[in-house]
Every structure is written in structure tokens, then in C-alpha cells.
Amino acid sequence: MSVWVDRAALEPGDTPVIGISLTPRVTLRTDHDPNANTSTTLSRNGHGNLASAGMSANGLTNYKKIDADQYREAGDGVELKSGEVALRSRWYRCLGGRTGAFCSYHPDLEATVQCLSCVKLNVPLSRSYFCSTQCFAQAWPEHKKLLKQYEENGKPSRKSSEGYAADTTTNNTVHIRGPGGESWVEVARTRTYTPTVEDIGHVLKYECVPVSKEHPHGMTAASTLETEPVAPTPKPPTRTMMPLALDGIKGSVATGKFTLLTYNVLSDIYANPDMYTNCPKWGLKWTYRRMNLLKEIVSYRPDIFCLQEVQSDHYENFFKPEFSKYGYDSVYKKKTSEVYAGGNMVIDGCGTFYRRDRFSIIKKYDVEFNKAAMSLSEALSANSQKKAALNRLLKDNVALIVVLEALEPPDPAAAAAGKRQLLCVANTHIHANQELKDVKLWQVHTLLKGLEKIAASANIPMLVSGDFNSVPGSAAHSLLAQGRVPVDHPELSVDPLGILRPPSKLCHQLPLMSAYAALAQQGPALQTPAAKKQKKCMDEETCEPKFTNYTMDFQGAIDYMFYTGDSLVTSAVLELPDENDIFRRNVSALPNAEWSSDHIALMAEFRFFKY
């Protein structure tokens, strides 16, 4: 029997990045006839034979292609039986000088500029590189502080943890010489390898060969592939909270406070490389984005956060368990239809997370707009009207409402009297199609009417957050921010089902205010350069951020946080980025290697308040 490597290749976009696993796709070929009378077996995760895999053979000329996943790895300590075949893998790092240098400010971009002061002061080389003169100028204020530290503290050794020292491998490490005279050092004996800091800038080589007990060094010549230079892991965005002025607030502001974050995290089923051409393909891979999103959200340490576009399987196997490690409990509501992706039926939805040491959940309400659409259609008389209504309104969008109880009530006197502090948080993702503005408005109106019923049953502070897919000034935004839609609003002219008539019904009684509008209305507590920048990030006319969603095709605000102004007050907001902050590869667009969604996170700090 003969078995040899047909092809070994990485998936498109598998640029090696620190911390992101690489697993080459390997296919083998064999001339083995499974129907022949032979005792030869192939290990398929340790057992089985070719016939059990459903192979057909037409004699020795039938070179059957087999996925390497059907073979176990021939690692250290693995004993093969007679006639058994396994795949031996090796990874090597090129030592023939670093073949790549990367920007310290934008780590996924190759460097074109080096700071000579860093070289003189023996600053680690990784911190001396920049991708352009513009990048160097932008980083200079912080970089100057770094140079000052090295001037004051002396010159540390080049043998830093950043991996730019000479190779420190032991004498027991395997070294090989390449055909071009280059030197390679072995770094792994598994098919999957996760690059480390010592690999930064180096080319990696993967080598594989089928082996057997009779041919321990390989049944045929080894097959190899080489990667691009390994890049450092880009850092998630760094943003800080900006305190707001409370001097002009009329009423009593309690000492108790909490933070709420809302974030559309871009579901993997929508992260299409053809749509987001500005982002490197490896930057769109879920294995990379999920860790970047986790690090970013954890760095903000919100007390409550509302996520949209949380894929159903990712909630169960990533978001829920990972955030639980950081002290969060959570609830989830998926959309009402599913698609086939990655071998499973999945769809995205809304997830609400809260710190278990600060809140406990009292009640959960699932809002399915499809159910409301069914009820509306039932009220129509003609079947044609019912069908038209369902075709237009059934869009699978949902909302998730939770009632939480603060474990430490902000008002000691009320707590002593046995009064509980409750909080109602709504999380939603409204329909995206810009041609169906009547549907967007109807969904928002339906949600607000549901919240009004909760408010009527108890005096509870409320927060309404999410991706509303509606720009400031739209009918949906007007309903949220102003409590009604002007009767002459142009979007009311498109109402084929008559669900928006009369316009006077498009109102609600919740005293909602926009959290980021408070930045414009109350102003920053301190007039700092950062505060001046924030003013430029706000739209003066709408008092909303200039953008919360920024792609090649659309830039604007569609994500919001609203709160009941008679019970809460905004005391701080998370700084907003501007176009320069998301500028990557000569394009300002999301997502990219640092920002792992096409939306930005919004977060505000609230204090309990009463007149």
C-alpha cells in the first residue's frame, strides 16, 4: 500500500498572527484497495479501516483522495501497529534573519518607518516601528513618553519578552537547513500550531508526511508549505469614560450608580470577506474576532451589557461560558428563523449580561415581532390583506426585556424600609432594510407599548438600548427621543398596510432621553483636549454620535441608549472614536484588525435620580 500527501495548504486569509491557531488543510492519496484480502489498516482517530470510510476502489489505479482528519497524528510517544498509517507533522521557524517588521501602533501592518531614538536607547525593536509617517506623528505624544522612560531608567537588555532577541532555543531543539541555505528551528510536532511572540516577523514552515511502523521516517517525500511573516496580535481599541457635568441637574442624585453597554458584535454568519474587503481575511475569522471582542468588553467592565447579532451557537459555546468566568450571568433571545451555517442551523439574536455580584434577575420577557404581526393580520378582514401584512411584517426580529434587582440599593433609607431597587433593561435589534421604514417604526412602536405596560405596573427606571437601524431624525428615532412622530414626517407617506394611521397614535408616555445626547446637553465635567475631541464626534444638530456604524457603504448613527429621565441621570459616557481612530490600510471603515465589529460599543454610567 502507498499513501502520500496530495496537498497541504492553509485556508485563504490564514495569515499567521500571535495567538491565532493555524491548522493546514491536508489531503492524502492512496492506492489501497479496501476490498482486497489484506490486514493493513489505517488509523481514523485511532481505529477503523478504509472500507469503513465508504471508499470504493477499482484496483491499484484508483488513487483515492482522503482528508487527513481521518488519520491520527504521529506525535511523540505514539506507537503504530503493523500496517497502520498516521500523519506526522512538524512546524519550523526560519532563523535566517527576520523577514518582516510590523508597526507598533497598527500591529497588522508592515513597518516602513523606524524611530532612530529607539535604536540609540535600546528600546525593543518591536516598539520602534511604524507603518507610515502619519502613523508616527499620531503616535508621537505617547511614544515620546516611552523614550523618556528609557532615558531615565537606562538601557535594558535586548533580550526582552517581545521576542526580538537572538534565538534562545536549547541545544535539544531540532535545526534544519533549507535548500536556500536558510536555517530553521523546530517549534512544534502537531498539525495545529499557535504562533508565539518569538515567531514575530519570522516565516513559518509546515511539513507533513504519512508514516507507518514499517516506514517511521515517511512513506514518501514530505510535503511543505511556508507562511507569511508572523504578525503581532492587534490590540483592541482603548477608550475611557468621560465624566459629565451634573451641576445643572435639578433633583436629588443618589450615590448609587451603574454602567450599561450596548454593542452589535457582527455575527459570524454576516462577516463576509466580499462585503468587508477593507478587513484582512484573518481579521474576520471568528476565532480571532471573538477574543478581540471579549478583551474589549471586559476592559470596559460594564455592570450590564446588551449585545446584538449574537449567533445562537456562539452564545452557548463562547459568550455565556466566557463571560461567566468574569462574573456575568446572562439571558438570550434568538431570532425566529434559522440558516444553515457550518453544519448547523443557527441564527443571531440578542444577549443581555449582568454582573451577578450587583444584580439578580427578577423577570424576563421575550418579544417576537412576528407574533405581533400575526395578531395584527388576524384583525384584517380580507385574506389578501392578511397575506400582504404578513409578507411585509414577518422579519424575525426580536427584543429581550429583563427586570433586574440591585443587590445593594442606592438609597439606604429606602432599603431600610424594605424597598427594592428594580431596573428594566430592553435590548433589541430592529429590521435593517432601509426600504421598509414603516416596518422599523412599527417594531419600535410595538416595543415601546410593551414597555409602557411594564411601567404601568411598577415605577421602574427603564433603559432601552440596541441596534435600531434608524438614523437620527428618522421616524423611529423621533418616536424614541421625542415621544411621538410629527404628523408631517416624510416617512409616514410610505404606509401600504395602513399600520401607521392615524399618526396621532404613534406616541408613548415614557420620558426617554438619549444617553449620548447628555454629552451635548450637560457637557463634560472637565474641559480637556479629550473633551474637545468628543464635541467633534457629536452631531450638533441631532445631539447623537456622528457614527456608530462605519462601513465602506454607510457611515452614521443607528445604535442608541435611551433612559427614563425622571429616574436616572447620565453621569459619564464612553469616549467616541473619530475617523482617524479607525483609519486602517488607508481606509476608514469597520471592521478591521483592531475593531472587530462594523459597529462601535456605546456605554454610559447612570445614577439613580428623583425630583
- Residues 15-28 pLDDT 10s: 788 888 899 999 99
Q: For position 171, what pLDDT does the model report?
A: 44
- Residue 50, in any domain of the structure: no
The yes-or-no verdict on residue 384 having pLDDT over 90 is no
Beta bridge pairs of residue 608: 568
Q: Stretch 179-208: mean pLDDT, rounded?
A: 89
Is the model's pTM score more than 0.85? no
Please tell me the distance from the alpha carbon of residue 293 to that of residue 390, in angstroms, as a whole number: 36
Comparison of pLDDT for 276 and 33, the residue scoring more: 276
Question: 10-19, 276-285, 526-535, 599-608: which has the highest mean pLDDT?
Answer: 599-608
- Closest C-alpha to 191, from 64, 2, 10: 10
- Residue 181, in any domain of the structure: no
Assign 443 to helix, strand or coil: helix
Here the cell at position 583 is: 483609519
Q: For position 562, what pLDDT does the model report?
A: 98
For the stretch 184-189, contacts whose Cβ atoms lie closer than 8 Å and that sit 24 or more positions apart, written own/partner, are 184/92, 184/93, 184/94, 184/95, 185/92, 185/93, 185/95, 186/90, 186/91, 186/92, 187/91, 187/92, 187/93, 188/89, 188/90, 188/91, 189/75, 189/76, 189/88, 189/89, 189/90, 189/91
The yes-or-no verdict on residue 517 having pLDDT over 50 is yes
> In which band, very low, low, confident or very high, does the pLDDT at 557 lie, cut at 50, 70 and 90?
very high
- Residue 194, in any domain of the structure: no
H helix or E strand, kind and range, residue 372:
helix 369-378
Q: What is the pLDDT of residues 159-169, one digit of tens each?
A: 333 333 333 34
**Residue 549 is part of which domain span?**
241-610
Question: 71-80, 177-186, 334-343, 440-449: which has the highest mean pLDDT?
Answer: 440-449
Q: Cβ contacts of residue 477 below 8 Å, gap of 6+?
A: 468, 470, 471, 560
Q: Stretch 516-541: mean pLDDT, rounded?
A: 91
Comparison of pLDDT for 135 and 513, the residue scoring more: 513
How many alpha carbons lie under 13 Å from residue 69 in its C-beta half-sphere?
Answer: 5
Output the average pLDDT for the chain.
86
Please tell me the distance from the alpha carbon of residue 168 to that of residue 403, in angstroms, as a whole number: 56
The yes-or-no verdict on residue 602 having pLDDT over 70 is yes
- Residue 153, in any domain of the structure: no
- Residue 31, in any domain of the structure: no
Here the cell at position 330 is: 446572562
Q: What is the pLDDT of residues 105-161, one digit of tens each?
A: 777 677 889 999 999 998 888 789 988 888 898 889 989 999 999 988 865 443 333
Q: For position 160, what pLDDT does the model report?
A: 37
Give the position of cell 433612559: 563
Q: For position 2, what pLDDT does the model report?
A: 83
Q: Stretch 96-102: mean pLDDT, rounded?
A: 64
Comparison of pLDDT for 62 and 302, the residue scoring more: 302
Q: Cβ contacts of residue 366 below 8 Å, gap of 6+?
A: 333, 398, 400, 401
Please tell me the distance from the alpha carbon of residue 17 to that of residue 228, in angstroms, as a whole number: 10
Q: For position 13, what pLDDT does the model report?
A: 64
Beta bridge pairs of residue 467: 429, 559
Q: Stretch 524-539: mean pLDDT, rounded?
A: 91
- Residue 357, in any domain of the structure: yes
> How far, rounded to the nearest angstrom, does the alpha carbon of residue 578 sit from its chain's CA centroid?
19
Cis peptide before 511 (omega within 30 of 0): no
Please tell me the distance from the alpha carbon of residue 422 to that of residue 404, in angstroms, as a whole number: 6
The yes-or-no verdict on residue 606 having pLDDT over 60 is yes
Percent of the chain with pLDDT over 70: 86
- Residue 536, in any domain of the structure: yes
> In which band, very low, low, confident or very high, does the pLDDT at 235 lie, cut at 50, 70 and 90?
confident
How many alpha carbons lie under 13 Å from residue 567 in its C-beta half-sphere?
Answer: 19
Mean pLDDT lowest for which of 243-247, 337-341, 475-479?
337-341
Q: How far is CA 134 from each of CA 126, 131, 263, 347, 580, rounded to the nearest angstrom? A: 18, 8, 30, 41, 10
Counting the structural domains of the chain, the total is 1
By residue count, the chain amounts to 611
The yes-or-no verdict on residue 369 having pLDDT over 60 is yes
Give 532: exposed, middle or buried? Use CB within 10 Å, 0-12, 13-18, 19+.
exposed
Identify residue 64 by its one-letter amino acid code: K
Q: For position 47, what pLDDT does the model report?
A: 35
Give the ranges where 21-177 is alpha helix by DSSP (H): 116-120, 133-153
Q: For position 527, what pLDDT does the model report?
A: 87
Q: What is the pLDDT of residues 42-95, one digit of tens each?
A: 333 333 333 333 344 344 455 788 888 888 888 766 788 888 899 999 999 998
Query: What CATH number has the domain bearing residue 342?
Result: 3.60.10.10
Question: 144-153, 194-203, 212-221, 567-576: which has the highest mean pLDDT?
Answer: 567-576
- Residue 87, in any domain of the structure: no
- Closest C-alpha to 396, from 446, 439, 336: 336
Please tell me the distance from the alpha carbon of residue 32 to that of residue 65, in angstroms, as a whole number: 11
Here the cell at position 179 is: 535548500
Here the cell at position 276 is: 468587508
Q: Stretch 308-322: mean pLDDT, rounded?
A: 97
Q: What is the pLDDT of residues 561-592, one digit of tens each?
A: 999 999 999 999 999 999 989 987 677 899 99
